[in-house]
A and B are shown apart, each in its own frame.
Chain A
Amino acid sequence: MHRFDRAFRFVLPAAAVAILATVLSVGWFTQPDRFAKGYAPEQPIPFSHELHAGTLRMQCQYCHSGVDKSRHAGIPSVDLCMGCHKVTKTDRPAIQKLAQIANSGQPLPWQRVHTLPDHVFFDHRPHVNAGIACQSCHGEVQTMKVVTREMGMRMGNCLGCHRDPHAALPTGSKITKGAEHCAACHR
């Protein structure tokens, strides 16, 4: 056996496989999108979008009122909830907890479900004003008991739609493309 045969036949292929396996597994474990989808944390108040937005057919903007005025859609302030829940379902323990928070003024830390990577300045206004439905990015929220993340919200998601937005836009919209330059979102 030539003295390099052993190296060529066994060591080199084994090393190649080992390196490939390492790269792939590290890549798989570190891919940012892996755990993004399906993220559904437990919230301090078990608020059901299925009930409010689905069964009761409340408009998204009734609570997320900043969405057409501000970059942020906004989480409703506790007093907005109390607008109804002063009289509605006051016997439920969750509503009693809510009332206690409203009266004491303690902070109500909702678990954030949808986040964007650092350095992104997403703005809800142009999207909502163009008639894009909330569900395009946030999924069928009106069917969710517990809000679950359905989109990874990576740059690929943004650009996919910006390059061909017609699926997300209402019929008859004149918009053919979204912005693709860096400063549209990064600044």
Chain B
Amino acid sequence: MTEVAHKNCGCKSHSGEPVICFEGVSFRYGHSLIIEDADFDIYKGESVCVVGPNGGGKSTLLKLMLGLLEPEKGSVRLLGGSARKARAQVGYVPQHINFDPLFPVSALDVVLMGCLGRGSFGFRSRADLTRAMDALDKMGLVAKAKEPFASLSGGQRQAVLIARALAGEAEVLLLDEPTAHVDVAAEERLMKSLKALDANLTLITVSHDLAFVSRSVPKVVCVNRCVHVHPTAELTDARIRQLYGHDVRMVQHDHEHLDSHGGHHHG
């Protein structure tokens, strides 16, 4: 990767403040440079996928966005402020959680955790319950609200975790490998639910699955130490080979794509 990272992908013109803004960000763990001079913006309502090989820095990029890591150089701005301060407005969905299967919580209890904030004391409010049930409804899981979280399938648990992120009235939804541990049918259901979300919600998904990328998002952030932003249509075999360092076959689908404002177009 010798190209210099560039601002914006040119796939869409944007107005107003970006939701996420990386300016000359570098980060290293010890002596290893993980992210080098990343420079890109993500705007309100965009649907973006972060791709790259294992160890390429995808998770580090995510943690920088959330303010869980501080850049060595450059700055990360989230919703116009510091990432650390604004991260409560980000709905984060981890790839998996190391939860204890004997921990007695229902799906609704888990979603209610998304309503928590620094100033939440005492018992949950009626408004919290309404928000949690709305979030479960968006993911099609109202019927499972009282079910123990541990008894749900992998796809349902992932959907509950997305509902937990939505319950916090997030402006940005950050999904780390949402389809990594689910079967094809559950993946389809998840995709359908995600597509139906509010058009103003900014959706950032980390994925290994290039087929998922090709049919899900119009804009791709390629990470392998350097960060490059492309429209999905420009994600050619040559670019992928350059990103992953070996041949990866990209399968194009004729499914609908999400445009950057939540609408649909064909790929």
**A and B associate:** no
State the A residues within 8 Å of B (CB): none
State the B residues within 8 Å of A (CB): none
